[in-house]
Amino acid sequence: HGVESRDIEEELQELVQRLPKERFGFGRDENSAVYFYQGFWCPFPLFKATISFQKHFETLDNDIFLTTPLKCGTTWMKALIFTIVNRHKFQPENNPLLTSLTPHQAMPYVEVQFYLKNQEPNLSHIPQPRLLHTHLPYSSLPPSIRECPTAKIVYICRNPMDMFISTWHFIENIRPANEEPFPLDEAFEKFCRGVHAYGPYSDHILGFWKAKQENSNKILFLKYEDVKADTFSHVKTLANFLGFPFSEEEEKKGVVEEIIKLCSFENLKELEVNKSGYQAFGLPNSAFFRKGEVGDSTNYLTPAMVERLEKSVLGKFDKSGLTF
Ligand code: A3P
C-alpha cells in the first residue's frame, strides 16, 4: 500500500510538471486548473483520484455505469436508473429519493465518492447491481469496464449550445461571493477550444458513439433532447437495456408513468432533500436543478457565437451520422 500510494503521488507530480495546463471556472488556484491528460482536460481536484480509479477499479459482471459529460442530464439519469432498478424494493411512495437520498447519492460519482479519500477503497459493501457514475471519456475508463462483456454503460449527451450554457450557469451558481465571476466570453472561448472539465466535448461524445457502433449491447447512447421529447419510450428502452424490463402488468398499472413523474425535473427540484444540503466540494444540491429545458442557450448566445460553436464543435460530428 505504502509503495503504491507513493507511486501515484510521484506520478502525479511528474504529470503536473509536464502536461499542458489551463484554467476553467472561477478562482486562480489549482482548484480551477485542468490538465490535458490522455486527450482530455482533467480537473486538478480529481486528478489523483482519477489515476487511482484507473489503476485499481475492478468491474463486476453486473455493474451498471452511467458515463456522462458535465451538465447533460446526469442527475435525471441517476434518478431514473436507481428507481427502475430498485422498483421492487421500494414502493413508489417509499422511494428514498423522495425524502433522504439525492440522485447523486443514489448513483455515486466514483472518483469523488470513493477514490478521493482512498487509493484502493473497499467497494464490497455496495449493493449489487452496483450503480456507479463517472465523467471520464470512453478511452480513459478503467480497462476492466471496457473489457467486461456484461457490465453496462448508459451514456447521455446533449446539444453543445445548451450544454455550454448549462455549464456556465452551474459555475456561476456555485461561485462563492468572494470569487470573481467567470465571464461568459472567456468560458465560451475556452469551450470552443475544448478546454473545460472532461473536454473536448466533441471527443467525449464521439468516443462513446464509436464504442456503441462496435458494441451496441454494452452501451446505451442517449441524447437529452430525445429523452425529453419522448420520455416514455426511452424509459422503457432504458429498463430493457438494464435488464429490468417492465412487465405487461406493470405497464397496465402505469408504473412507467409513475417513475417518469417521480424523476421529473419539476418533482425532484421541489423536494427538500434536493433543495437543501451539499455534496462533495461544498456544491449545493440545488445547483443541479436549473431550468431543465431544451434550447435555453438561444437566450444567451449571439448568432456569431452559435456560428462559431457550429464550426468548432458541431462540425466534428459531420462524418459520424450524429446530429443535434
Ligand atoms: P439546465 O442547466 O439546462 O437547466 P447534470 O445533471 O448532468 O449536471 O445536468 C444538469 C442539467 O439537467 C441542468 O440543465 C438541469 O436543470 C437539468 N436537470 C436536472 N434534473 C433534471 C430532471 N429530472 N429532468 C430533466 N432535466 C434535469
- Give the closest residue to 126 by CA, choosing from 142, 147, 145, 105: 105
Q: 249: which 3 cell numbers?
A: 402488468
Longest dimension (CA), the chain: 60
CA of 182 to the centre of ligand 1 (A): 20
Half-sphere exposure of 287 (CA within 13 A, CB side): 21
Reported residue count of the chain is: 324
Please state the pTM of the whole predicted model: 0.97
* Lining residues, ligand 1, CB within 6 Å: 68, 71-76, 162, 166, 169, 263-265, 268, 288-292, 296
Q: Count of CB atoms within 10 A of residue 278's CB? A: 12
**Residue 135 among the catalytic residues:** yes
Cα(213)–Cα(96) distance, rounded to whole angstroms? 36
Among the listed residues 133, 135, 204, 234, the single catalytic one is 135
- Cell 465523467 -> residue: 135
Q: What is the pLDDT of residues 280-317, one digit of tens each?
A: 888 999 999 999 999 999 999 999 999 999 999 999 99
Cα(40)–Cα(317) distance, rounded to whole angstroms? 18
- Give the closest residue to 266 by CA, choosing from 292, 286, 285, 227: 292
CA of 302 to the centre of ligand 1 (A): 23
CA of 295 to the centre of ligand 1 (A): 13
What is the ipTM score, two decimals?
1.00
Q: What is the pLDDT of residues 180-216, one digit of tens each?
A: 999 999 999 999 999 999 999 999 999 999 999 999 8
